[in-house]
Amino acid sequence: MNALFMQIVHHIKELKAILLQQKENGVSIGFVPTMGALHEGHLSLVRKCKQSNDITVVSIYVNPAQFNNKNDLKSYPRDSERDCKLLSSEKCNIVFIPDDKEMYPVPDTREFNFGLMEQVMEGVHRTGHFNGVAKIVSKLFEAVEPDKAYFGQKDFQQLAIIRKLVKMNHYDIEIVACPIVREKNGLAMSSRNTLLTKEQRNAAPLIFKVIKEASNNLTSHHSVKSVKEYVRNTINSNKLLKLEYYEIVERNTLKPVSEISLKIPLTACIAVYAGNIRLIDNIDIN
């Protein structure tokens, strides 16, 4: 493969043919699935992928199946020309940009069951979201068959679901979790940040400030109930923000806890609305 040129591919058949030829030469394939509107967070995944794989494949596809809100799907930022320029400067090898017909030639009626993992947080507030994620990620994994796939820790629950999907389907793929990339003011990078007004953008860093403060002050003496109340009141005291949930869960099982134990790894997760824009973040507690 010519390392100087990035190939843009729209069809699974073509993608498979290119990758098969490479695999026959024994090269390793790294994969970064995205929905485009790339930012530094995505680019950090691409850089990490390039460090440990011979070929880096990035997909750009806004997957309708994972949106439970039509307006969110409609307003999701799209700019594949800009994305391709960014990927080309990162020396990405292949960009896969399919359309809906390519990814869903027939309706995908599969129902995944992730048990408790989808019965909390995003799973409760975005009905069907993880089923849609599992549909597209399984299709993409089967199209690319990578050795390693890279996901951001900002989507903490998605990462846990994808690890489970890999186990359930016996995919021979290593899932690599990459740290959240933040703006200087602490706001977690997200494609949705571009949709925020200037005022909302100024208010949004409060989200990370509050979860960081809450996690720094947590000891086994605190009740989770009082921490939740503190987070809710602080977020909602800013009239541009509205808390959807703040939950402290066991890091591996995603089981919500009602008491802080310093023995079990915990993660605090939050979802906040700034107008119609939904922002999520999380922080490890112990």
Structure tokens at 109: 């009626």
SS3 at position 167: helix
Region from 131-139, 182-190, 194-202, 204-212 binding ligand PAF, contact rule CB under 6 A: 131-139
Sign for the pseudo-dihedral over CA of 143, 120, 178, 243:
positive
Q: Which of 46, 137, 173, 206 binds ligand PAF (CB under 6 A)?
A: 137
Q: Which of 30, 33, 41, 98 binds ligand PAF (CB under 6 A)?
A: 33
CA distance 201 to 174: 35
| CB of 129 vs ligand PAF, minimal distance in Å | 9
- Catalytically annotated residue among 10, 11, 39, 42: 42
| CB of 10 vs ligand PAF, minimal distance in Å | 17
CA distance 231 to 234: 5
CA distance 280 to 211: 11
Q: Is 39 a catalytic residue?
A: no
Q: Which of 6, 18, 19, 34 binds ligand PAF (CB under 6 A)?
A: 34
Contact 144, 26 (CB under 8 A): no
Give residues 54-113 in contact with ligand PAF (rule: CB under 6 A).
63, 66
Structure tokens at 15: 């993608």
> What type of residue is 16?
K
Distances, alpha carbon 131 to alpha carbons 86, 117, 273, in Å: 30, 12, 23
136 binds ligand PAF (CB under 6 A): yes
CA distance 53 to 273: 38
| Contacts with ligand PAF, 151-190, as mask; x by CB under 6 A | ----x--x--------------------------------
Residue number, 35 or 173, with CB nearest to ligand PAF: 35
Q: Which of 29, 117, 133, 196 binds ligand PAF (CB under 6 A)?
A: 133
State the catalytic residues.
Answer: 42
Residues forming contacts to ligand PAF in the complex (CB under 6 A) are: 33-35, 63, 66, 133, 136-137, 155, 158
